[in-house]
């Protein structure tokens, strides 16, 4: 994409108020001035890719934000625009890839890596799928979804979340798989079908199993870790192609479950021992129970980023860190697309990301920058 200089001037000119100026001053030179201190470069210096979500709408309507993305991120992932229900809002075959194409085009022109999110997600499946008459029709629809999506972005997508959130131990199956639409339609074999087709269609893309609630120190997260590791081991033994695990890591600054550095390290080492790499795919930090005062709140959010990343980046199998948004201007948490328990009771907007809504760096940016700078160097993957 051209016009970076225009966008940069727009960012610099956009509302550097007293608070933002003070925050920027406390962080040293503004991020815009320190090209070698961007998250993209600091991560790349250690063999890591750093990235963020974007949307076609943001590309069309928010050049200042997109300019920040181009400077700070080496990778883009569509927050919603590649999901099946977002591409297909009508009948079978009624696909509209235009928003996903916009993002793919933007990533290419900006020299950014593209993640694919996602092939199958029970939560975003077109309603017609549920009414297909039989197993064969459902299998054809799943196969077509994977092959047409992966083929369209072949050679462009670095990693695919082929199946998003396949486990749910609470559903009570001995294998811990989520009892939802694809499992009910095709049995556990749907995973093998999807990953094999993805591999055949784009042999160079890394194939990822993306999961949530596997990073903290609670019995529930521990059960989910065990189930996920079992699934990965079964996939490896069965020859189902899988290359990486996506750890979503939607974290909580205050009042959330405990975090154990040791447990996370052990879990990551177990994943690495299976010959898989690790991608942190959806990192952000909710602040619903943090005090209202911005400096205090931002400090607590930054500490959460720091503690998590310091532990995670210790494992050389971790190759990628993606935050679920870059600026508080565009976040599912701020938009209240989380469940209500994550909303602030005082009605103040949440501040979950490294840049504030005016695109100024926050303490979370500094925490991430330092975590990248202090991380051991690894072979890129």
Tokens found for residue 275:
């010959």
Tokens found for residue 379:
């072979």
Q: Which residues contact 349 (CB under 8 A, 6 or more apart)?
A: 328, 334, 357
Closest approach, Cβ 115 to ligand G3I, in A, equals 11
Dihedral, 366, 301, 258, 168 alpha carbons, nearest 10? -100
Q: What is the CA 233 to chain-centroid distance, rounded?
A: 23
Do residues 66 and 58 touch, judged by C-beta distance below 8 A? yes
Complex with ligand G3I: residue 325 or 363, whichever CB lies closer: 325
CA distances in angstroms from 138 to 64, 144, 187, 191, 353, listed in the order given? 43, 10, 11, 14, 39
Complex with ligand G3I: residue 38 or 80, whichever CB lies closer: 80
Closest approach, Cβ 170 to ligand G3I, in A, equals 17
Closest approach, Cβ 26 to ligand G3I, in A, equals 30
Closest approach, Cβ 61 to ligand G3I, in A, equals 13
The residue ranges of DSSP E strands in the chain, in sequence order, are: 49-54, 75-78, 113-121, 157-164, 206-211, 244-247, 250-252, 277-286, 318-323
Complex with ligand G3I: residue 32 or 161, whichever CB lies closer: 161
Residue with smallest beta-carbon separation from ligand G3I = 332
Closest approach, Cβ 381 to ligand G3I, in A, equals 22
Q: Contact positions toward ligand G3I, by CB under 6 A?
A: 79-80, 83, 124, 164, 248, 282, 332, 337
Complex with ligand G3I: residue 37 or 248, whichever CB lies closer: 248
Q: Which residues contact 306 (CB under 8 A, 6 or more apart)?
A: 367, 368, 370, 371
Closest approach, Cβ 57 to ligand G3I, in A, equals 8
Closest approach, Cβ 184 to ligand G3I, in A, equals 20
Q: What is the CA 92 to chain-centroid distance, rounded?
A: 28
Complex with ligand G3I: residue 164 or 304, whichever CB lies closer: 164
Cα separation, 103 vs 80, in Å, equals 11
Complex with ligand G3I: residue 150 or 369, whichever CB lies closer: 150
Complex with ligand G3I: residue 110 or 125, whichever CB lies closer: 125
């Amino acid at each position: 994409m051209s016009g970076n200089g225009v966008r940069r001037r727009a960012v610099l000119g956009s509302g550097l108020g007293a608070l933002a100026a003070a925050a920027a001053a406390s962080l040293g030179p503004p991020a815009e001035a320190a090209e070698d201190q961007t998250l993209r470069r600091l991560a790349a210096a250690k063999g890591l890719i750093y990235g963020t979500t974007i949307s076609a709408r943001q590309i069309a309507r928010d050049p200042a934000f997109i300019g920040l993305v181009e400077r700070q991120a080496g990778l883009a992932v569509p927050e919603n625009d590649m999901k099946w229900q977002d591409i297909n809002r009508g009948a079978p075959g009624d696909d509209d890839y235009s928003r996903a194409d916009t993002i793919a085009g933007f990533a290419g022109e900006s020299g950014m890596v593209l993640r694919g999110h996602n092939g199958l997600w029970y939560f975003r499946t077109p309603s017609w799928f549920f009414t297909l008459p039989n197993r064969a029709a459902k299998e054809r629809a799943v196969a077509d979804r994977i092959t047409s999506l992966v083929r369209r972005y072949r050679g462009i997508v670095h990693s695919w979340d082929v199946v998003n959130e396949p486990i749910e131990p609470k559903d009570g199956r001995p294998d811990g798989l989520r009892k939802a639409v694809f499992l009910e339609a095709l049995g556990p074999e749907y995973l093998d079908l999807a990953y094999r087709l993805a591999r055949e269609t784009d042999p160079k893309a890394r194939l990822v199993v993306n999961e949530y609630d596997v990073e903290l120190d609670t019995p529930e997260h521990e059960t989910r870790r065990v189930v996920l590791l079992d699934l990965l081991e079964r996939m490896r033994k069965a020859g189902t192609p899988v290359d990486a695990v996506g750890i979503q890591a939607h974290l909580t600054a205050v009042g959330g479950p405990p975090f154990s550095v040791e447990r996370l390290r052990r879990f990551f080492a177990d994943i690495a021992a299976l010959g898989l790499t690790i991608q942190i795919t959806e990192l952000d930090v909710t602040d619903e129970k943090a005090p209202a005062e911005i400096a205090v709140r931002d400090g607590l959010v930054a500490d959460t980023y720091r503690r998590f990343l310091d532990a995670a980046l210790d494992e050389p199998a971790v190759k990628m860190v993606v935050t679920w948004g870059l600026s508080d201007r565009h976040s599912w948490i701020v938009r209240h697309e989380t469940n209500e328990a994550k909303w602030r009771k005082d009605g103040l907007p949440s501040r979950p990301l490294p840049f504030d809504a005016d695109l100024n760096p926050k303490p979370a940016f500094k925490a991430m920058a330092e975590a990248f700078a202090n991380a051991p160097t690894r072979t890129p993957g």
